[in-house]
Amino acid sequence: MATIDNAIYVNGVRTENPQSLSETFERLRERGGMSWIGLYRPSEREIREVADELGIHALVVEDALAGHQRAKLERYGDVLFMVLRPARYLDETEEVEFGEVHVLVGHDFVVTIRHAESPDLGRVRRRLEGDAELLARGPEAVLYAILDEVVDEYAPVLAGLENDIDEIESQLFEDDVDATQRIYELGREVIEFQRATQPLAGMLEALLRGSEKYRVDEELQRYLRDVLDHTLRVSDRATTFRTVLDNALTVESTIVARRQNEEMRRMTELSIRQNDEVKKISGWAAILFAPTLIGGIYGMNFDHMPELHWVYGYPMAIGLMLAMGGGLYAAFKYKGWL
């Protein structure tokens, strides 16, 4: 059922609970007062039915059907159309979930179209029904209460984001933690949060500028200024979060680069040590190769070998081996291989 709540209020008191939208419009014309129709993910037929009865502009109907819009405020004659982007922080997944609510405000009606679980408009309605003096100020009072609820629900989101940022800052200098991906993902959430909250300040300022033209109650103007103050603080904190995350990403990149440089230096040192070892092994292999070569030649047992039958042939061969080995050792030592 798309219609969550449907009531008619007179002087801030709930007097009618119509069973259908058609009954609401009929009673409203007969008895006056203000109607507040709450819809949850309505069908196209239901939206068009409400629009036809209340004389709402076709462009508003298109926007209400489209969904997934940025926060905005538009006027179509005497009808005010507002899109709000509420948000809530999910502790289980440490993510921010964004919703969408459309508010249509006329001189004697309010229509709310909610496309997500947040905000809790039932709580807003109960709050206003408990304050007949405020509700008696008309549809603008309902609009104020919805705005106030949406902005108040941003507070837990800010707290959740701040906690996540604190965790990231504590992880930055841990050797075994790569926080780059988490910083990036959290940065995307903060940007999305900014897109939801930043337009609100301009929207509230526009409402206040038009308050005299549309005869908005003076007390409601004070309430709206209070919501504007809260909105500006939310926006400022979101901007601060983004700056902190940008700095954290820069620091993390520097740390990662430093770790990579240290790893490259370690690998270079290891490679140099390995090259030194290879040089030593190669040097000793060359030194040992010289006597082996001579010994191998003289060990072939041919009758006709140079100096084979000479008395000093054996000492000469040994001396040649030692001379070649010593010469190679001196050469490699001079080159720094040994």
Question: What are the DSSP calls for 258-299, one per residue?
Answer: HHHHHHHHHHHHHHHHHHHHHHHHHHHHHHHHHHHHHHHHHT
Give me the pLDDT at residue 171, please: 79
The whole-angstrom separation of Cα 39 and Cα 5 is 7
3-state helix, strand and coil shares in percent for the chain, rounded to the nearest 5: 60, 15, 25
Identify which of 27, 35, 42 has the alpha carbon closest to the alpha carbon of residue 7: 35
Give me the pLDDT at residue 271, please: 77
Give me the pLDDT at residue 1, please: 47
Is the N-terminal amide bond of 119 cis, ω within 30° of 0? yes
Domain locations in the chain as residue ranges: 1-130, 269-335
Options 3.40.190.10, 3.30.460.20, 2.60.40.2240, 1.10.150.120; which CATH number does 1-130 get? 3.30.460.20
Within 10 angstroms of residue 218's Cβ, the number of other Cβ atoms is: 10
Q: Are 87 and 193 in contact (CB under 8 A)?
A: yes
Give the global pTM.
0.75
Give me the pLDDT at residue 202, please: 93
**Exposure class string for 300-324: b at 16+ Cβ within 10 A, else e:** eeeeeeeeeeeeeeeeebeeebeeb
Give me the pLDDT at residue 312, please: 64
**Exposure class string for 54-93: b at 16+ Cβ within 10 A, else e:** bebbeebbebbeeeeeebebeeeeebbbbbbbbbbbeeee
Give me the pLDDT at residue 110, please: 92
**pLDDT tens-digit profile, the chain (338 residues):** 477 888 899 988 998 888 888 888 888 877 788 899 998 888 888 888 888 888 888 887 887 777 667 889 988 888 899 999 999 998 888 889 998 999 999 888 999 998 887 788 889 999 999 999 999 998 999 999 999 999 999 999 999 999 999 888 887 777 666 778 888 888 899 999 999 999 999 999 998 888 777 777 888 889 999 999 999 999 999 999 999 988 888 887 777 777 777 778 888 777 777 777 777 777 677 666 667 766 666 665 555 566 666 666 667 777 777 777 777 777 767 777 66
- Which amino acid type is present at position 89? Y
